[in-house]
Chain A
Amino acid sequence: MDLSTTETQGMLRDTLARFLADNYSFDARQKMLASPEGRDPGIWRALSSELGLTCAPFAEELGGMGGGAIENQIMMEELGKVIAIEPWLQTVVAGGGALVAAGGPLAEAVIPQIIAGEAVIAFAYAEPQGRYNLADIGTTAKSDGSGYVLNGHKGVVYAAPWATHLLVTARTGGGRRDRGGVELFLIDATTKGISRRDYPTVDGFRASEVYFENVAIPGEALLPGGIDLIERVVDECTIAVCAEATGIGRAMLAQTQDYTGQRKQFGVPISKFQVLQHRMADMLVEAEQIASMALMGTLRLDQEAAARKAAVSMVKAKVAKSIRFIGQSAVQTHGGIGITVELAIGHYFKRATMIEGQFGSADYHLERYEALTMPAST
């Protein structure tokens, strides 16, 4: 067993951390959010074509560095530290992950575009009625000669307003909620018949409701693998947001430590009060467990499906609870200033809160874990 990172992985982390320290201050982030596009596209360009970070998790023959889940974990953790709104999760983890798993000519064509920063991908998997069930899908992909025709509505598609491509789940057959008949497609976001309603999200991103009306797509857009592939991609995404939570949790703890050292009441820094010391100690306990679980999940992503799913659900169930505790404790310890938009801590809390539910709540993952590991006796 070896839990250390390689020298290259360490360099990746340092490169990203340095870049973000210089370019992603809280004020800079606030400016990005307030801009019409809601982001600074120059940052993504820098991460990809200038710093070459987007190549990290891809195979060398496609222009990558031969990394994988660990590289994504490192990147997400650093992005979490500054609550970056960059579409790494959607583009590299979801889009890149789906393409790597499916392989084929589409992967060979699009992965180099991801690496170059030309492709931004949004993952349209959720539907208004579906909650966290990935197979509860009403969007249809009807076979039409050599291609498909998409009809339906995808909800809360993060990064869709910025996307060049959409990674879409749709039903080619079977009834609503059947596992069979659900497929994954990667399509050009500008295809005729796609319309969007864009909005900001509470955690600072931009997202859309995406509507498909007789959208004709080529047959090659289908990434073979069905629901098994979709579950794998979502599991990879789940672990990625848990890695992000590692960065966020640690940052919230550091900010709380810092604030309580400066804030004086009753003649002393409030960090001197034992009730706050114990709370911060508990925050550290939870932050460390998030880091441990994100690592465990990352290392188990390549196990066979049942073991992988059980591991991912353990991770997410734990991380959702821990990050909630850290966020609520950080805000409470800051007091009133913690719920204003002035201070960074509230913005970390908002992203942390959205991570709780992203790709399945604690309840959802507990239930999935129980079903996988403790099947009901007959």
Chain B
Amino acid sequence: MNLEFSAEDLAFRDEVRAFIDKSYPAQLRGKQDEGDELTKDDFLSWHKVLAAKGWVAPAWPVEYGGTGWSQTQRYIWSEETARADCIRLMPFGLAMVGPVIYTFGTPEQKAKFLPRILSGEDWWCQGYSEPGAGSDLASLRTKAVREGDDYVVNGQKTWTTMAQHADWGFFLVRTDFEAKMQEGISFLLIDMKSPGIEVRPIITLGGEHEVNEVWLDNVHVPVANRVYEENKGWTCAKFLLAHERVGIAGVASSKRGVEKLKAVAATEMEGDRSLLANPFFRRKVAELEIDLAALEYTELRTLAGMAAGKNPGPESSVLKIKGSEIQQRLTELTLEMAGHYGAPYYRGFGEGDNEHPIGPEWANRAAPSYFNTRKTTIYGGSNEIQRNVIAKMVLGL
């Protein structure tokens, strides 16, 4: 056991760096630098570059289109993409439904959906939460009734991220109303262009349109689009939630966030001293870095376990709790750093709008990001639920 990279690893790192440097979409980079809102095409531009290279799904088994990288190479990949400030790929296809399909799907489902997830042809969304079923997800009421070769689905989902762009959604629906809570649920893949689906925006505190309500009114879904057995969808749901929690730690992007924070704090002056020289502020930055190191090595241990064939279990709740808190702390410190210039409300400029922002550019999104990032301790199973998972599943309380 050691912490050093081998010569092969270092060569791989150089290869990755050179690739990102050469291939990262210039237009996307420009928009990120300007703080412009990113469109569906922007998100897909990087996805497609990676798909063409065969690097879009490092975590997948090679037979389905994975890279076959070692755990260390995957670590290097996430480090380097964060270091180069590459956007995070949409997780709904690659990190969520993809693994469910290759683990539980039929050969037909694998052949139909996996290539289109890899290519970016299909944009996916997640139909889990309902107005009455949040933390208590198993109480969901959206129902699917069998009618010949179809299910007819009725109900309402909420907090559906990026559903406004989605071609397909994976939905948890109730197929048995008599069964105990978790037992009557099925996992359906639904074409978002089906008649009877309506997507309504939910606007969040920073002014963003990220999440939606999805209404389903007599939506016909072929039985062939059910993954795994009828009434056994909870198995897929649990599998997916554990996977989601690992990715949710966001170590690499938080490290990048800390670097950005320190770079700005080193130049942001408070009289004669930089903010990074302010003993109060630097102490908080140091504490954040230390928390992040603890998270990083906890994640590395979890990933090593996964590489050895262990599915991520309830321990992934540790990653979710600490990862989300660190993401929030980063936005808190950025907002503190902004001082008075946290107050002006900045929506992000549309293309062709060249009005100067108010105050320093890095401060423009400080407050909206802080407000928006409150979501991290709520989504993916709230941190209260994660503690329940640890208490029950790990501690056996």
Contact (Cβ within 8 A) B135 A265? yes
Q: In the complex, what's the smallest C-beta–C-beta distance from A177 to chain B, in angstroms?
A: 6
| A17, chain B: closest CB distance, angstroms | 27
What are the interface flags for A252-281 relative to B under an 8 Å C-beta threshold, 1 for contact and 0 otherwise?
A: 000000000000111100100101100000
In whole angstroms, what is the CA distance A266 to B204 when docked? 26
Residue numbers in B under 8 Å from A136 (CB-CB): 271
Q: Which of B132, B270, B344 has the most CB of A within 10 A?
A: B344
> Is the C-beta of A221 less than 8 angstroms from some C-beta in chain B?
no
Q: Is there an interface contact between A363 and B344, defined as CB atoms closer than 8 Å?
A: no
Interface residue range, chain B: 35 or more
Residue in chain B with minimal CB distance to A200: B345
Question: Chain A nearest CB: distance from B181 CB in Å?
Answer: 10
Name which of B43-51, B143-151, B305-313, B366-374 contacts chain A: B366-374
B384 located at the interface, meaning its Cβ lies under 8 Å from any Cβ of chain A in the complex:
yes
CB distance from B196 to the nearest CB of A (A): 24
Contact between chains at A346 and B341 (CB < 8 Å)? no
Kindly state the separation between the CA atoms of A270 and B382 in the bound complex, as whole angstroms: 13
B281, B340, B341, B384 pick with most chain A CB within 10 angstroms: B340
B253 within 8 A of A: no
Residue A207 at the B interface, CB < 8 A? yes
Binary CB contact string for chain A from 334 to 356 against chain B (1 if under 8 A, 0 otherwise): 01101111100010011001100
- Closest B-chain residue to A324, C-beta based? B332
Say whether chain B's binding surface is mostly helix, strand, loop, or mixed: mixed
Which residues of chain A in 307-340 are interfacial with respect to chain B, using CB atoms and an 8 Å cutoff?
328, 331-332, 335-336, 338-340
Q: Which residue of B lies closest to A156 (CB)?
A: B340
Instruction: Chain B residues near A201: list those with CB within 8 A.
Output: 343-345
A275 and B390 CA atoms in complex are apart in Å by 15
Name the residue on A nearest B283 (C-beta).
Answer: A363
Which residues of B have CB within 8 Å of A207?
Answer: 343-344
Q: Which of A72-80, A108-116, A126-134, A227-235 contacts B (4 or more CB under 8 A)?
A: A126-134
- B26 in the interface (beta carbon within 8 A): no
User: Do A346 and B340 touch (CB < 8 A)?
Assistant: no
Bound complex: CA of A136 vs CA of B271, how far in Å? 7
Q: Is residue A202 within 8 Å, beta carbon to beta carbon, of the partner chain? A: yes
Give complex CA distance A339, B369 in Å. 12
Which chain B residues border A129 with CB–CB below 8 Å? Answer: 269
Q: How far is the CA of A272 from the CA of B159 in the complex (A)?
A: 24
Contact of B205 with A209 in the complex, beta carbons under 8 Å: no
Verify A339–B343 contact, CB threshold 8 A: no
Contact of A336 among B281, B341, B367, B379 (CB under 8 A): B379
Distance, CA A353 to CA B370, complexed state (A): 10
Are B371 and A128 neighbours in the complex by a CB distance under 8 Å? no
User: Could you tell me if A131 and B270 are in contact, using CB atoms closer than 8 angstroms?
Assistant: yes
Interface status of B358 (Cβ within 8 A of chain A): yes
Residues A363 and B345 in contact, CB atoms below 8 Å apart? no
Closest 4 A-B residue pairs measured CB to CB? A265-B136, A363-B280, A156-B340, A202-B367
**Given A199-B358, A203-B343, A357-B342, 15 additional A-B pairs, CB 8 A:** A155-B359, A199-B345, A201-B345, A332-B382, A332-B383, A335-B134, A335-B135, A339-B371, A341-B203, A341-B204, A350-B205, A354-B342, A361-B336, A363-B278, A363-B281
A-B contact pairs, 29 of them (CB 8 A): A126-B340, A131-B271, A131-B340, A155-B340, A155-B359, A156-B344, A156-B359, A197-B358, A203-B343, A265-B134, A265-B135, A266-B136, A275-B384, A332-B377, A332-B378, A336-B211, A336-B378, A338-B374, A339-B204, A340-B204, A341-B204, A349-B205, A350-B205, A350-B367, A353-B367, A353-B371, A357-B340, A363-B278, A367-B280
Chain A residues packing against B (C-beta within 8 Å): 126, 128-129, 131-133, 136, 155-156, 158, 177, 197, 199-203, 207, 209, 264-267, 270, 273, 275-276, 328, 331-332, 335-336, 338-342, 346, 349-350, 353-354, 357, 361, 363, 366-367
